[in-house]
Copies of this chain bind each other. A is one copy, B any other.
């Protein structure tokens, strides 16, 4: 490799000179730590995450070079603190430098709140919020018109009423089948979310479920009993789309306060056409979400927390 002097100057060899200002967030489950600090007098954000074990290097790990300190012993069970060789125990580090206040906010732990959105709250707060934001969904139209990502399309039904484009989610590496993640984006415009669905959309919903599952079985060999098919509420963008993931994928987007199984949605609407217009829908907001602000200004949380 060739380095210019400038490259060399900027390429860090260690965290020498880094001064921690604050721990922004930590996750014990995922072994992450996000820091705000100073480097060369400028703000920096460092995202640290322990690496997964490398299956290919198990033999290098499980030998005399990994020292052990026993912490507990009970019959056939014992626990140890193990110290592997440095080279086998990497940490992934992302540095943002210089960092703006926006970066610092973005990676700071946010308070989360549970919202029980009644029909009335939807009409009074959520719907006006969605309409006032006038979110740009041009990027979705670009996909549907095949101006972008057309080489990524897995399946298409081009009907303007019940059709959709099926393509890999950005979070999927397209290699690990156990982590399969696709999205079906409908051709029809104007369906904002679950709240808009009634029996007039049953042909669309059934078509996505049936043809989406068939396309995935065809292309990847994954049968119906290995697939989770669901809708987000709130969605991350207000053009109707459906998530298809492998049963083994553990992702936060499948939590019970966000994911609604498409088969449940179809069944509920079959039972009662206006099910989702009247249903109280429960979801999580974070303090930096604009919807949280809108709900707060409306006095939602004050009222809610005085109930109990």
A residues sitting closer than 8 Å to B (CB atoms) are 7, 10-16, 18-20, 23, 26-33, 35, 37, 46, 48, 50-53, 55, 58-59, 61-68, 70, 73, 76-87, 89-99, 112-116, 210, 213-214, 217, 223-228, 230, 247-248, 250, 252, 254-261, 263-264, 267, 271-272, 279-280, 282, 284, 301, 304-305, 307-308
Contacts and interface: CB of A to CB of B under 8 A. Distances in A.
Contacts of A304: 223-225
A33 B16 contact: no
Contacts of A227: 114
A250 to B, nearest CB: 6
B90 A82 contact: yes
A234 to B, nearest CB: 14
A58 B66 CA distance: 23
Nearest to A48: B53
Contacts of A67: 13-14
A228 B257 contact: yes
Grouping DSSP codes into helix (H, G, I), strand (E, B) and loop, the A interface class, with mixed when no group exceeds half, is: mixed
A93 B116 contact: no
Contacts of A80: 12, 92-95
Contact of A14 (B66, B89, B301): B66
Contact of A52 (B31, B87, B116, B217): B31
A229 to B, nearest CB: 9
Contacts of A257: 228, 254, 261
A18 B308 CA distance: 56
Nearest to A222: B308
